[in-house]
Structure 1
Amino acid sequence: MDHEGSPPFRAVQPGFRWDGVAYMPYKQDGSAPFKDISRQVLFHEHDLNCELRYFEMDAGGYSTLERHEHAHAVMILRGSGQCLVGDEVRPVKPFDLVSIPSLAWHQFRATAGEPLGFLCMVNVLRDKPQLPSEEELAALKERPAIARFLEG
């Protein structure tokens, strides 16, 4: 029987890596602002219409501040940090769950001193992220907690 998508089993390796899973620097084309983050696609399953990815940022690193039409779900696996979802900034730690609704601004930041790693589940077919305009960024920064978060 041919198996499309991911192989049926891949063993974990040290350092939050998995057999047969490519370790990729995140968005190396310079299309979005981020710092010290990597991505691994753990599952890409057309039959399930989803993709499970593992992102990890080095201590002090952060993901892109973005929004998009597709919703996604995140589970923190290692480290601690903060996340912005919509108009809230929250601390995150291992096994916390974060739901990111459609068109909500979001970003993850690793606490200085330790990496932050998380699983992210999204649709296989999804829209491209939108970056904030200068006006949208200024509006976000009108909230003191978000301004402090974005300034790192």
Structure 2
Amino acid sequence: MYQNQENNQVSETWMIGKKEGAENFAFRYYQLSPGSHSKKEQHPYDHGLLVLQGEGEVLLGDKTHPVSRGDIIYIDPDLLHQVNNTSEEPLGFICVIPARREKEGKIVWAEEGIKFD
């Protein structure tokens, strides 16, 4: 769990990954408290999101799109992105990423200016 700049909580649960024997992907669940958002980031791999509960917005590049339960979002490699909970209820989504993310490239947390090689 981490707190964003507004001091709202974002929980991250690794559901499937290397520990479970997954060689090609990782499966995570995020829950954003009302008014909260994920980190704004970009990285050299694509991934997908499935919204399970709540409503909000997803920033993809320079465009913002509404999202709600059942929506599936594809995020291109190197595309700046962020999920925002704009509702009064928790926003929960699954994130599927390639396993190679741990081996390749860097992740840039845009809002903090931190780079991980």
1:129 aligns to 2:104 (yes or no): no
In structure 2, what is the Cα distance between the partners aligned to 1:39 and 1:109? 15
Describe how 1:40-79 pairs up with structure 2 within 5 A. 40-45=13-18, 46-79=21-54
- Per-residue CA deviation, residues 63-101 of structure 1 (Å, 9 max, x unaligned), is 001100011100000000001011210000001010110
Checking the alignment, whether the CA contact within 8 Å between 1:33 and 1:65 is kept in structure 2 is no
In structure 1, what is the Cα distance between the partners aligned to 2:12 and 2:109? 19
Counterpart residue identity of residue 67, structure 2: V
Describe how 1:10-25 pairs up with structure 2 within 5 A. 25=1
> Which residue of structure 2 aligns with residue 118 of structure 1?
93
Give the CA RMSD over aligned residues.
2.2
The change in CA–CA distance for 1:124 and 1:33 in structure 2 (over 3 A counts) is farther
In structure 1, what is the Cα distance between the partners aligned to 2:45 and 2:72? 17
Identity percentage over the alignment? Answer: 31
Checking the alignment, whether the CA contact within 8 Å between 2:16 and 2:28 is kept in structure 1 is yes
Rg larger in structure: 1
Runs of 4 or more above 3 Å deviation? 32-35, 45-48
Q: Which runs of 5+ in 1 are unaligned?
A: 1-24, 135-152
The change in CA–CA distance for 1:91 and 1:43 in structure 2 (over 3 A counts) is same
Q: Output the TM-score relative to the length of structure 2.
A: 0.80
Q: 2:61 aligns with which of 73, 86, 109?
A: 86
**1:109 aligned counterpart, secondary structure:** strand
| Higher-RCO chain (CA-CA 8 Å, sequence separation at least 6) | 2
In structure 1, what is the Cα distance between the partners aligned to 2:26 and 2:48? 11
- How many residue pairs get aligned? The number is 106
The change in CA–CA distance for 1:111 and 1:133 in structure 2 (over 3 A counts) is closer
Q: Which runs of 5+ in 2 are unaligned?
A: 113-117
The change in CA–CA distance for 1:84 and 1:48 in structure 2 (over 3 A counts) is same
- Per-residue CA deviation, residues 78-135 of structure 1 (Å, 9 max, x unaligned), is 000001011210000001010110110000011231110000000123144213389x
